[in-house]
Amino acid sequence: MNEKIFVTQPFFPDRKLFDSYVDRIWEGKWLTNNGPLAMEFENKLIDYLQTKNVTLTVNGHLALEIAVRALDLTGEVITTPFTFASTTHSITSAGLTPVFCDIDPETLTIDVTKIETLITDKTSAIAPVHVYGHPCNVREIERIAKKYNLKVIYDAAHAFGVKLEETKGICEFGDISMLSFHATKLFNTIEGGALAYNGNYKRKLDLFKNFGIENEDTVSCIGLNAKMNEFQAAMGLSNIGYIDDIICRRKVLTGHYRTRLDEIPGIRYFVPEKTEGVKYNYSYMPVCINPVEYGMDRNALYLKLKEQDIFARKYFYPITSEFDCYKHLPSDVPEAKKASESVLCLPIYYDLTIEQIDRICDIIKSR
């Protein structure tokens, strides 16, 4: 029997360190509703993310939902379908219409040359995704948003720790950026998420994450319950000290994958850090399969790996514009469709070994 290798595995901090935070939860008898650990964690993230404000949430999806609500968006939001269900659902669940823009095949992020053609008098925002942690063309999106007076909400679920223009944090761009701290992400708080932003949205976002409750007498808006609890914050406080080590380890693993995959025609990996000034986080190991050169298509490779107990994932197939609930909406997104049929995310996580990567690459090579 082969050892099973999944696309990812959560990072676990030193148990004693986590326990020291859990001891504080027991002593303080405080479990949720913006407790002391959550506040401490929020401040640590402000330092790390280099934004003026952070609002912690119970998961990344609800963070997106409250961001969409708090920005008072109306009508249409331009977004990309090459993403997780969450991005599109957060738009529609607020009663807005997603307008699907195609992606750039080099970075798999929104194709900035197509955004302006989709703007109408109903457009209120752009919701791009830093797919696999590859930064969108933030400066061009900024230019378009300014020109048409649109808000920008970045789905930065994959982009924790990414830097641009040498020193700028990825969340310094756009009105609000959403991060996911789900167990499967490079930085986890079990489940969890955050909104990071420089604008003056703190009060509003905090209201929306707590039912709209202003105080004991006043509820001022239709809010959600999206508060991060103290166990999640304990995990975040424990894990944040490891982040440089986590990214460093993933860089080494990615480097080994590259060396091995270079031997195989028809397998192309994405090399975003070649973009000048970008510090990448190596959050995923996406490869694009050219069936003619490789001799097998993406689905066949996925199955071949699965037979050997290696569970790669087809992130993001199907694209959201093809979901039953969205296929009635107009969409002209051939590059997104092509990517969804040719990209495979190979296993990558802190505890993955070089030997395991060799096993995976040997299987890929033996087509």
Interface with ligand T4K (CB under 6 A) = 6-10, 59-61, 83-84, 86-87, 129, 155, 157-158, 180, 182-184, 193, 311, 313, 315
Q: What angle do CA 296, 135, 111 make, to 5 degrees?
A: 70
Minimum CB–partner distance for residue 103 and ligand T4K (Å): 13
Closest CA to 238 of 157, 181, 296: 181
Q: Which lies closer to ligand T4K via its Cβ, residue 4 or residue 274?
A: 4
By beta carbon distance, the residue nearest ligand T4K is 60
Q: Minimal distance in Å, beta carbon 156 to ligand T4K?
A: 9
Q: Which amino acid is at 290?
A: N
Peptide bond preceding 323 in cis form (omega within 30 of 0): no
Which one, 30 or 311, has the nearer CB to ligand T4K? 311
Distance CA 23, CA 231 (A): 11
Closer residue to ligand T4K (CB): 254 or 294 = 254
Q: What are phi and psi of 311, to 5 degrees?
A: -105, 80
Closest to ligand T4K by CB, 192 or 223: 192
Q: How far is the CB of 136 from ligand T4K (least distance, A)?
A: 12
CB of 79 to ligand T4K, least distance (A): 11
Q: Which is nearer to ligand T4K, 61 or 337 (CB)?
A: 61
Question: Alpha-carbon distance 168 to 216, whole Å?
Answer: 40
Q: What are φ and ψ of residue 199, in 5° steps?
A: -75, 180
* Coil, strand or helix at 86: helix
Question: In angstroms, how far apart are the furthest CA atoms of the chain?
Answer: 68
Residue 309 Cβ, how far from ligand T4K at the closest point, in Å? 12
Nearer to ligand T4K, 67 or 150 (CB): 67
Closest contact distance (angstroms) between CB of 158 and ligand T4K is 6
Enumerate the β-bridge partners of residue 77. Answer: 98, 125
